[in-house]
């Protein structure tokens, strides 16, 4: 005959073993899932970094293009101002005197040369020139920045 307590003990033991196995399998599945999610997160993070780098590179190219275009427009405006001054030098000479007409021509020539130098230099050279100017004359640089800001605010203020 089979002892009831022994078969009940074996059933409990068997249930404990099944439960332990089930817990181990659940732990392994959870760990595998966590590893899969970690890998997926890393892949998506790398993709996002790559996209951000591509956007940054595209923005840098566009900004450089816009800066080159702005430099060309500024150069053209400076040369145009020079031409306007030179065209009016004769009138200045007639109204104020030959000495002032010559000053106007000299200023026109200097402005034209500055415009041409601006057009010839690359953005990197202009940036380095600006840095060097600020290093040599920080007070003058701050004064020019303040004067330019004041002038622009007056130019664009609505009255």
Answer yes or no: is 15 within a domain.
no
- Decide: pTM greater than 0.85: no
Answer yes or no: is 136 within a domain.
yes
Residue-range definition of the domain harbouring residue 125: 121-159
CA 34 to chain centre: 37
Please state the domain count of the chain: 1
| Among the listed residues 90, 126, 95, the one whose alpha carbon sits nearest the alpha carbon of residue 108 | 90
Answer yes or no: is 69 within a domain.
no
**Quick check: 133 and 126 in contact, CB under 8 A?**
no
Successive 10-residue mean pLDDT values, the chain, 159 residues = 53 85 90 90 92 93 91 90 91 90 92 90 90 93 91 80
Answer yes or no: is 140 within a domain.
yes
Answer yes or no: is 134 within a domain.
yes
Answer yes or no: is 87 within a domain.
no
Answer yes or no: is 149 within a domain.
yes
Question: The tokens of 46 are what?
Answer: 């790398």
Please provide the DSSP assignment of 75-122 as one string: HHHHHHHHHHHHHHHHHHHHHT-HHHHHHHHHHHHHHHHHHHHHHHS-
């Amino acid at each position: 005959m089979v002892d009831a307590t022994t078969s009940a003990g074996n059933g409990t033991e068997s249930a404990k073993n099944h439960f332990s196995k089930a817990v181990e399998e659940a732990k392994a599945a959870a760990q595998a899932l966590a590893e899969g999610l970690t890998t997926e997160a890393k892949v998506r993070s790398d993709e996002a970094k790559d996209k951000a780098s591509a956007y940054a590179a595209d923005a840098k190219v566009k900004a450089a293009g816009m800066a080159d275009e702005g430099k060309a427009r500024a150069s053209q405006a400076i040369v145009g101002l020079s031409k306007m001054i030179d065209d009016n030098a004769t009138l200045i000479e007639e109204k104020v005197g030959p000495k002032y007409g010559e000053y106007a021509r000299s200023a026109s020539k200097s402005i034209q040369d500055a415009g041409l130098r601006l057009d010839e230099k690359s953005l990197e050279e202009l940036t380095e020139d600006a840095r060097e100017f600020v290093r040599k004359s920080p007070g003058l640089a701050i004064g020019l920045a303040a004067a330019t800001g004041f002038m622009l605010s007056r130019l664009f203020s609505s009255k």
